[in-house]
Amino acid sequence: MFKYGKRQVKQKIKKKTVLPSEVQTENLCSNLSINEQILKNLFQNCSDFTIRPIQINGEPKILLFYLEGLTDTKTLDILLLNPLMFQGLPNGLNKGGTLGQFIEHQLLAATPVKTISELGKLVDEILKGNLGVLVEGEAKALIASLQGSEKRSVEEPSSEVSIRGPRDGFTESLRTNTALLRKRIRSTRLKLESMSIGELSQTDVAIAYIEGLATEALLDEVRTRLSRIQIDGILESAYIEEFIEDAPYSPFPQIQNTERPDIVIANLLEGKVAILVDNTPFALIVPMTFWNGLQAVEDYYERFIYTSFIRFIRYFLFNITMFLPSIYVALVTFHPKLIPTTLLISIAAARDGVPFPTIIEALLMELVFEGLREAGIRLPKAVGSAVSIVGALVVGQAAVQAGIVSSTTVIIVATTGIASFSIPRYNLGTALRLVRFPMLILAGMFGLYGIVIGFIVLIIHLVNLRSFGVPYFNPVAPQIPGDLKDVLLRSPRWSNRYGPIFTLGWKKQRTPSGQKPTSQKGGRE
């Protein structure tokens, strides 16, 4: 009985229809019925695959095939079906050309059309949503670009909200995203190289750069890393990010992602390269530095005085996010003499009756805060923010009244959490949340010495980190004085004469000198 069952399994495997490797090089036949049968066998059990034969003089002469939902059937009816079925063929067709030439040059003249003769390429074009046309007696197929799948309209990205600036964002359509870039850079120097990644998904990927700004070394490195990817399917740009980053075990992001086309264009003008992936609104930008993660989009749309002040506050909150819980634990546990007497008395009174050490208190409240933040993200928007805010208030107040944690610890953890929301890039903020826990443990074990040790190790890691060969801490380490104008503060745009050297590799003038605004004498005499 076992042998019989095994024999049945073998028979089922033999009956299963798969796409053979020789199909990729097999040529089409001039017989329409044979081509139809081959396509039906290849797309067996594919309910969305549609074949529409068109009869001329009572015999099938034309074969249309496409995938429902990916092809614009309304345009198909207007361009092909209505003229062929109701108007018929023109007189003297054989004298002026073949039926295939008539369809290509007259009926499909308004759409991009190409001719292919290999069966494998024909199948690939159908899977992309294009329309295939086969004509009796011709061993070639016409491929018309009639892609018409449902897609989301262009909207403001919710993950990167800006007070001032453009309100459009990328969508899941690659061609829509490339059009948003073309809208901003109307030059032939904006290049968009295309390739496909994924054995099954065949996901379209576009490499965007500005010719003459992006160095050949960077472009070759991007092409090499992308061509090395071997995977069955690409569902999002994060799949590609994990394959091409320099240090996969580092918590810090080495590739910038964004939904905003204006951010992509701003980075392309600095000599960087963008990677756009179909079916996702998130584009990748390489290389990335540590300082890119602390720069918001409105930093370049507001006046430089406001931006410099806000950026200074952002760096201050960044230090609070990294070190405030650790410094609190170190001072209370090992160095109470460094705390002012009045403040020390208040902290001691708040900790009266708390059964846990300060380090356990801080770790416990940090974990609770992270849990509430994660719950607020995963819950529906209508209740997510309410649950996270109310949960933090209720849990914190209840924990203080029960004597489990002190009120000072709750204030420290809450302040740290609020400060972490000021980080513009979510992935950099997540990295800081991860680093905060080792810093807490070091502070609980060695006090301020542990914080210093952790800070030194962190700086060494960041200085040695690379993003596509570019130092992660550039232009601070190694120091490039000309590029420091856009790190801690933002200098006026008219004073930034040259682009960043670390990506351009040379001094490229972007703004000629002599454009500083000056007061004009005027008025009535």
Burial class (CB in 10 A: 0-12, 13-18, 19+), 216: exposed
299 within domain boundaries? no
Which tokens belong to 17? Answer: 């229809």
What is the pLDDT averaged over residues 194-202? 92
Same domain, 395 and 447: yes
| Per-residue pLDDT at 23 | 55
**DSSP H helical ranges for 149-260:** 174-184, 216-227, 237-244
Residue 314 has pLDDT above 80, yes or no: yes
pLDDT in tens, 482-503: 788 888 888 888 888 888 887 7
Instruction: Say whether 325 sits in a helix, a strand or coil.
Output: helix
| Planar angle of CA 239, 244, 246, nearest 5 degrees | 130
Determine, yes or no, domain membership for 383: yes
Sheet (strand 273-277) strand order = 190-197, 203-210, 273-277, 283-286, 256-258
Q: How confident is the model at residue 246 (pLDDT cuts 50, 70, 90)?
A: very high
DSSP structure class, residue 188: T
Residues with Cβ within 8 Å of 236's Cβ and at least 6 positions away in sequence, in order, are: 277, 279, 280, 282
Would you state the pLDDT for residue 25? Answer: 58
Statement to judge: residues 250 and 351 lie in one domain: no
CA–CA separation, 506 and 498 (whole Å):
9
Q: How far apart are CA 502 and CA 475, in angstroms?
A: 8
Do 105 and 189 sit in the same domain of this protein?
no
Does one domain contain both 353 and 403?
Answer: yes
Same domain for 345 and 382: yes
Total domain count, the chain: 3
Q: Tokens 């309100």 map to which residue?
A: 167
Q: Note whether 476 and 484 are within 8 A (CB).
A: yes
pLDDT grade, residue 108 (50/70/90)? confident
pLDDT digits (tens, 9 = 90+) for 434-493: 999 999 999 999 999 999 999 999 999 999 999 998 999 988 888 888 788 888 888 888
Residue whose C-alpha is closest to residue 81's, from 133, 43, 42 = 133
Q: Residue 146: what pLDDT?
A: 84
Mean pLDDT over residues 96-110, rounded?
71
Query: Which domain covers residue 228, as residue numbers?
Result: 174-288
Q: What percent of the chain has pLDDT over 90?
A: 43
Structure tokens at 44: 């067996």
Tell me, what DSSP letter sits at residue 195?
E
List all residues 6 or more positions away from 337 whose beta carbon is below 8 Å from its beta carbon: none
Verify that 138 and 216 share a domain, yes or no: no
Give pLDDT tens digits for 348-397.
998 888 899 999 999 998 988 888 888 777 777 666 666 666 677 777 78
